[in-house]
Amino acid sequence: MKSISPNEAHAVADAWILDVREGHELEQARLEDAHHIPLGTLVERLDEVPRDRTVYVMCHAGGRSAQATEYLTTQGVDAVNISGGITEWYRSGLPLTIGGAE
Protein backbone atom coordinates (compact mmCIF):
# COMPACT_ATOMS: atom_id res chain seq x y z
CA MET A 1 0.00 0.00 0.00
CA LYS A 2 1.28 3.43 -0.92
CA SER A 3 1.31 6.15 1.72
CA ILE A 4 2.19 9.81 1.82
CA SER A 5 2.66 12.31 4.62
CA PRO A 6 0.16 15.14 5.08
CA ASN A 7 2.84 17.65 4.00
CA GLU A 8 3.49 15.68 0.81
CA ALA A 9 -0.25 15.36 0.09
CA HIS A 10 -0.78 19.08 0.65
CA ALA A 11 2.03 19.84 -1.82
CA VAL A 12 0.26 17.94 -4.63
CA ALA A 13 -1.42 20.47 -6.92
CA ASP A 14 -5.17 19.84 -7.24
CA ALA A 15 -5.02 16.62 -5.19
CA TRP A 16 -8.26 14.58 -5.09
CA ILE A 17 -8.60 13.88 -1.35
CA LEU A 18 -11.13 11.35 -0.11
CA ASP A 19 -12.12 11.69 3.56
CA VAL A 20 -13.62 8.41 4.84
CA ARG A 21 -14.58 9.68 8.30
CA GLU A 22 -18.15 9.87 9.60
CA GLY A 23 -20.25 13.03 9.28
CA HIS A 24 -20.01 13.95 12.95
CA GLU A 25 -16.20 13.91 12.68
CA LEU A 26 -16.34 16.45 9.85
CA GLU A 27 -18.13 18.84 12.20
CA GLN A 28 -14.97 18.93 14.34
CA ALA A 29 -12.38 19.44 11.59
CA ARG A 30 -12.30 18.98 7.82
CA LEU A 31 -10.55 19.95 4.62
CA GLU A 32 -12.75 22.23 2.53
CA ASP A 33 -11.83 20.66 -0.81
CA ALA A 34 -11.96 17.01 0.30
CA HIS A 35 -14.61 14.61 -0.99
CA HIS A 36 -16.50 12.84 1.79
CA ILE A 37 -17.55 9.20 1.57
CA PRO A 38 -17.73 7.44 4.97
CA LEU A 39 -15.83 4.13 4.99
CA GLY A 40 -19.05 2.20 5.66
CA THR A 41 -20.60 3.45 2.40
CA LEU A 42 -17.51 3.27 0.19
CA VAL A 43 -18.46 -0.01 -1.51
CA GLU A 44 -21.84 1.24 -2.70
CA ARG A 45 -20.46 4.69 -3.60
CA LEU A 46 -17.38 3.41 -5.43
CA ASP A 47 -18.57 4.99 -8.69
CA GLU A 48 -18.02 8.45 -7.11
CA VAL A 49 -14.27 7.79 -6.88
CA PRO A 50 -12.27 8.79 -9.98
CA ARG A 51 -10.26 6.15 -11.82
CA ASP A 52 -8.30 8.55 -14.01
CA ARG A 53 -6.22 10.18 -11.28
CA THR A 54 -4.55 9.45 -7.95
CA VAL A 55 -6.89 9.46 -4.95
CA TYR A 56 -5.41 10.49 -1.58
CA VAL A 57 -7.33 8.88 1.30
CA MET A 58 -7.57 10.29 4.82
CA CYS A 59 -9.40 9.56 8.06
CA HIS A 60 -8.86 10.56 11.69
CA ALA A 61 -5.52 8.85 12.38
CA GLY A 62 -4.77 6.58 9.42
CA GLY A 63 -6.48 3.25 10.21
CA ARG A 64 -9.70 3.55 8.23
CA SER A 65 -7.94 5.30 5.36
CA ALA A 66 -5.48 2.39 5.17
CA GLN A 67 -8.44 -0.02 4.85
CA ALA A 68 -10.05 2.21 2.21
CA THR A 69 -6.75 2.54 0.30
CA GLU A 70 -6.32 -1.24 0.19
CA TYR A 71 -9.92 -1.72 -1.00
CA LEU A 72 -9.66 0.99 -3.66
CA THR A 73 -6.39 -0.47 -4.93
CA THR A 74 -8.08 -3.86 -5.41
CA GLN A 75 -10.77 -2.04 -7.43
CA GLY A 76 -8.20 -0.55 -9.82
CA VAL A 77 -7.98 2.90 -8.24
CA ASP A 78 -4.55 4.52 -7.82
CA ALA A 79 -5.06 5.16 -4.09
CA VAL A 80 -2.56 6.56 -1.60
CA ASN A 81 -3.05 6.61 2.19
CA ILE A 82 -2.39 9.92 3.97
CA SER A 83 -0.48 8.67 7.00
CA GLY A 84 -1.59 10.00 10.38
CA GLY A 85 -4.89 11.28 8.99
CA ILE A 86 -6.36 14.64 9.84
CA THR A 87 -4.69 14.47 13.27
CA GLU A 88 -1.24 14.58 11.67
CA TRP A 89 -2.48 17.13 9.09
CA TYR A 90 -3.43 19.42 12.00
CA ARG A 91 -0.15 18.78 13.86
CA SER A 92 1.75 19.71 10.70
CA GLY A 93 0.05 23.11 10.69
CA LEU A 94 -1.67 22.56 7.35
CA PRO A 95 -4.91 24.40 6.48
CA LEU A 96 -8.18 22.94 7.65
CA THR A 97 -11.56 24.12 8.84
CA ILE A 98 -12.37 23.68 12.53
CA GLY A 99 -16.04 23.37 13.56
CA GLY A 100 -19.18 24.11 11.61
CA ALA A 101 -21.33 21.91 9.42
CA GLU A 102 -20.35 20.11 6.22
Instruction: Enumerate the active-site residues.
Output: 59
99: left (phi over 0), alpha (psi -120 to 50) or beta: left
The two beta strands, 79-82 and 16-19, are: unpaired
8-state DSSP, 17: E
